[in-house]
Chain A
């Protein structure tokens, strides 16, 4: 139990569907992240929110839409995805200020399959 919870753990959707991934952290951290992990590729940083403000959008297609209503919750809204978007989506949180090392605490991931 890392203190970061992701739902759903598995999601299958068609290319015309709209779905959302949810992430919640119970660690009091000020930053939250979405990473994409595809087979045989490094973890790709998608979005970073620091104190609810988006500080990083790593050239992610607009069919992925993040939302951070508060520092404990992070969503990834999915719309008209492509089969190549099938991957493990990992949420993480960290405390990036002060003397902290700022290591990431990851959720267990949401395995997305786009048909």
Chain B
């Protein structure tokens, strides 16, 4: 069974609008971590934001925020005031267990920002 589900293969968003990228996950662990990565066309994987399962506040990093809904097992990425440079693949990922070294990824969402 897929542990990380990203249901949006592609999205088109007008520049300066906010965008939400969906991610749901499946785990029976109480302790886990959720990550979002960005992969531009150049190929490098860039870490964006992290949310721990015990964190009570939603994580924020600049224009990125994570809408963490634990009961729904949802960890959506919100990008505010989108920019042309935000066009990229976005991957949601999960680490299970405290100290566990295994991190698995979803299939990704390709985001296109339109001028």
Contacts and interface: CB of A to CB of B under 8 A. Distances in A.
Name the residue among A41, A55, A96 with the largest chain B CB count within 10 angstroms: A96
A43 interface: yes
Which residue among A43, A48, A56 has the maximum number of chain B CB atoms within 10 Å of its CB?
A43
Interface centre among B43, B45, B50 (most CB of A within 10 A): B45
Given A2-B44, A88-B43, A106-B44, A43 B105 contact: yes
A37 to B, nearest CB: 9
A108 B99 contact: no
Contacts, number: 59
Contacts of B105: 35, 42-43, 45
A33 B100 CA distance: 13
A56 B103 contact: no
Given A88-B43, A105-B47, A97 B99 contact: yes
Interface residues of A, number: 26
B108 A102 contact: no
B43 A42 contact: no
Given A101-B33, A102-B33, A45 B102 contact: yes
A21 interface: no
B103 A45 contact: yes
A103 B91 contact: no
B102 A103 contact: no
Do most interface residues of chain B lie in helix, strand or loop, or is the interface mixed? strand
A109 B44 contact: yes
Nearest to A88: B43
Contacts of A94: 101, 103
Nearest to B51: A101
Contacts of A101: 33, 35, 50, 52
Given A43-B91, A48-B102, A105-B47, 14 more contacts: A2-B44, A33-B103, A35-B105, A42-B105, A42-B107, A88-B43, A94-B101, A94-B103, A101-B50, A102-B33, A103-B50, A104-B37, A104-B47, A108-B44
Interface of B: 4, 33, 35, 37, 43-45, 47, 50, 52, 91, 93, 95, 99-108
